[in-house]
């Protein structure tokens, strides 16, 4: 990964992850919203494949699962 990408994601990564997580907690989410979030995460994972990014993506994926278990209406639809 180029150095500029590493510096950029270290500076702005937490903000991206926060917005992704915040988006998932909206009450009007539908299946396509979750699919878009997973696609975005996959693209970030592929484009910014540094170790720090990979760990952050796994943490975010686990947090998505926690959100699904907390919000009862999401348990059946979106949790793995």
Has residue 79 got a pLDDT over 60?
Answer: no
Query: Residue 63: what pLDDT?
Result: 82
Number of domains in the chain: 1
Mean pLDDT (whole number) for 59-78:
69
Mean residue pLDDT of the chain comes to 76
Has residue 62 got a pLDDT over 80?
Answer: yes
Share of the chain above pLDDT 70, in %: 80
> Contacts from 51-59 at CB under 8 Å and sequence distance 24+?
52/6, 52/9, 52/10, 52/13, 53/9, 53/13, 56/13, 56/17, 59/17
- Estimate to the nearest angstrom the gap between the alpha carbon of 22 and the chain centroid: 10
Give the domain range for residue 25: 3-78
């Amino acid at each position: 990964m180029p150095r500029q990408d590493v510096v950029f994601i270290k500076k702005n990564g937490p903000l991206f992850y926060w917005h992704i997580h915040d988006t998932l907690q909206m009450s009007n989410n539908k299946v396509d919203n979750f699919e878009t979030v997973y696609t975005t995460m996959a693209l970030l994972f592929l484009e910014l494949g540094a170790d720090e990014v990979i760990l952050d993506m796994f943490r975010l994926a686990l947090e998505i699962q926690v959100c699904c278990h907390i919000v009862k209406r999401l348990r059946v639809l979106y949790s793995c």
